[in-house]
Amino acid sequence: MKKLLLILLTFLYGITFLVAENVSYNISDIKYDIKGSTKPYFLEKRLGITKDITFNSIEEIEIYVATLKQSLDNLRIFEDSDVTYSLIGNSVTISIYLDEAWGIIPFGYPKYNSETGGRVAMKLYWYNSLGTLTNTLIQGGVNIGLNSETNELEVLTWDTSLSVDKILILDRFYNISYNQTLERSNKDDYEWSYLKSKLSLSSTFNFIKGYNYSPKISIIAEYDHKPVNSITSDAIINEYKVPLSLSYSHGLGKSSVNWIGNFRDGYSYGISNSISLVQTHTKEIKPTTEFSLSGSYFKTFGDLPISIGSKLISTISVNSELLGLGGNVRGVPSGDLYGTFGIFSNNNVFIRVIKLENIAEAIFSPHLDFGITDYLKPKIGTGADFILYVDKLKSLVARGSISLNLSDFDSGTFDWKEDLEIDITSSLFF
């Protein structure tokens, strides 16, 4: 009898264990507490928030809640956010709290870059436009500097642009932009200016889990080419003139970079390709293509006020030469690097030096960059950034940078005017 009772108890325990193991939980309700204009519909479309999720354990619910909270923080449009859950039986209620940062930000500012000159610019940011998570930017500016021959002040370049990102159309997000600019290109001591119009349309698709495919189509017109100095001839300009081009670019990549406060942690990598039909100055149509590989890595160290970041890019062009590659190495003039192939490395240490709770945070960031092209002209630049984050302006950043071109020290050709770069801007370098 005792033996039979023991077998029965063991059987009942096994049944209870199996039932407990097969318990599942379903989202029955999603509640929002939003201080601002954000529409839950667009939030759900952007982040894939849905009731059609089944959890097989409490641990899976907690992982989902933590992941959703991180996704909200990565949008950089909320001053504060929180995600919690509650259980009634097998029903899960998800509660989302959002406190929006300032969304409409008119931003007029003077800017200076020792290579491109002084700049007076105006930007109008409208983050989370009408609560749709669409970001709108209207900007324009004028760069003023010294003429390389007369040493007189003149307008070097100017630009105007309109970009609207993450427009939701039929369950797909699209980006559109239009740019009208006066630009300058240079190679060694040759320099010329031209007007440029560019219209682009792009989108992003989930390719496989964790990977995104991003196609983009652009039409570009260049016209009114003029030499900037006396040594630049029409023949030199014609060698690089591209009156009209139609470009299709696409990339496949993965990003696991998360914002932890004002530091970043994680990695990203991708491959991209652009194919262009280019009209030359003789009206011939020439196909060109470019390939790029890139990767970045960021690491935080718990609660320590320090993190590191690195970025590596390699690019190759077929049937055309790439100009202005020096812009990938801080401190190096853009025209000092050019070619059909290049490798560039950017490295930063980010150190929080000032933290005013709920107001702002300042970060000091020394950097070391390296670049080389198939012309075998390696370039090294070093310096430091000073970065300011303001809590109420979550999507904006102010950055001042000073960099030196170390490559010219050994050759004895170092020139403070050309090899010292000072930059004041409203974006991170990478």
Q: Is the pLDDT of residue 1 over 80?
A: no
Per-residue pLDDT, 8: 52
- The predicted-structure confidence for 49-105, as pLDDT tens digits, reads as follows 999 999 999 999 999 999 999 999 999 999 999 999 999 999 999 999 999 998 888
C-alpha closest to that of 194 among 162, 242, 148: 242
Per-residue pLDDT, 413: 67
Dihedral sign computed on CA atoms, order 203, 205, 211, 213? negative
Which CATH number applies to 2-100: 3.10.20.310, 1.10.3720.10, 2.40.128.120, 3.50.50.60?
3.10.20.310
Label the pairing between strands 91-100 and 25-35: parallel
> Which of the pair, 408 or 20, is modelled with greater confidence?
408
- The predicted-structure confidence for 234-267, as pLDDT tens digits, reads as follows 888 888 888 999 999 999 999 999 999 999 999 9
C-alpha closest to that of 77 among 26, 30, 134, 118: 134
Q: Is the pLDDT of residue 122 over 80?
A: yes
Q: Which pTM was predicted?
A: 0.78
Mean pLDDT of 388-410: 86
Between the two ends of the chain, the Cα-to-Cα distance in Å is 76
Per-residue pLDDT, 21: 52
- CA–CA distance from 333 to each of 27, 189, 324, 379 (Å)? 56, 11, 8, 10
Q: Is the pLDDT of residue 233 over 80?
A: yes
Identity of the residue numbered 212: N
Confidence grade of residue 42 (pLDDT, cut at 50, 70, 90): very high
**Which of 112-121, 264-273, 288-297 is the least confident region?**
112-121
For the CA atoms of 160, 223, 230, 282, the dihedral, rounded to the nearest 10 degrees, stands at 150
Mean pLDDT of 391-398: 85
Instruction: Give the integer Cα–Cα distance in Å for 116 and 183.
Output: 11
- CA–CA distance from 33 to each of 44, 80, 83, 95, 363 (Å)? 14, 12, 10, 8, 32
Q: State the average pLDDT for the chain.
A: 89
Q: How many helices (H) and strands (E) does the chain have?
A: 6, 22
Residues paired with residue 81 on neighbouring β-strands, in sequence order: 98
Per-residue pLDDT, 18: 42
Q: Is the pLDDT of residue 289 over 70?
A: yes
Per-residue pLDDT, 207: 81
- The predicted-structure confidence for 411-420, as pLDDT tens digits, reads as follows 666 677 677 8
C-alpha closest to that of 254 among 236, 237, 267: 267
18, containing H or E segment: helix 2-21
**Residue 430, both tokens:** 């990478």
Q: Is the pLDDT of residue 108 over 70?
A: yes
Collect all residues with Cβ–Cβ distance below 8 Å to 205 and sequence separation of at least 6. Answer: 172, 212, 213, 214, 215
Q: Is the pLDDT of residue 166 over 60?
A: yes
Phi-psi region for residue 383, left (φ > 0), alpha (ψ -120 to 50) or beta?
left
SS3 call for 44:
helix
Per-residue pLDDT, 283: 81
Same fold, 2-100 and 104-425: no
- The predicted-structure confidence for 172-194, as pLDDT tens digits, reads as follows 999 999 999 999 887 778 889 99
- 104-425 sits in which CATH class? mainly beta
Q: What is the residue extent of each domain of the chain?
A: 2-100, 104-425
Using a 10 angstrom Cβ sphere, with 0-12 exposed, 13-18 middle and 19 or more buried, the burial of residue 200 is: middle
Helices in 50-173 by DSSP H: which ranges?
A: 58-74
- The predicted-structure confidence for 208-225, as pLDDT tens digits, reads as follows 888 999 999 999 999 999
Per-residue pLDDT, 371: 96
Q: Is the pLDDT of residue 341 over 80?
A: yes
Mean pLDDT of 21-50: 91
226 close to 193: Cβ distance less than 8 angstroms: yes
Q: Is the pLDDT of residue 5 over 70?
A: no
Instruction: Give the integer Cα–Cα distance in Å for 347 and 295.
Output: 12
Per-residue pLDDT, 153: 86
Using a 10 angstrom Cβ sphere, with 0-12 exposed, 13-18 middle and 19 or more buried, the burial of residue 318 is: exposed
